[in-house]
A = this chain, B = another copy of it.
Amino acid sequence: MKNKLEEIRKSHGIRQEDLAAALEVSRQTIGSLENGRYNPSILLAFKIARYFQLSIEDIFIYEEDVNHEQ
């Protein structure tokens, strides 16, 4: 899964640390999401989407697992 979090966050002129505080997660969590180290839980995805007044689908891009049998 890819995401536009860094781009969206920067377009709002907010630092990772302040976004993290607003969402009540750690700064490392935001950094890890932006750099693709892991995917958010659905609860965090909702929090992020609500914070930016976007839908989850606006921020997170699901790529169908075409090679699901390997």
Question: Given contacts A24-B68, A68-B24, are A42 and B60 in contact (CB under 8 A)?
Answer: yes
A42 → B minimal CB distance (Å): 5
Docked pose: A41 CA to B62 CA in angstroms:
12
Query: Is A66 interfacial (CB-CB < 8 Å)?
Result: no
A51 → B minimal CB distance (Å): 11
Contact present for A57 and B60 (CB under 8 Å): no
Query: Is A55 interfacial (CB-CB < 8 Å)?
Result: yes
Which residue in B24, B43, B56, B64 is a CB contact (below 8 Å) of A57?
A: B56
Partner-B contacts on A (CB < 8 A)? 1, 24, 39-43, 45-47, 50, 55-57, 60, 62, 64, 68
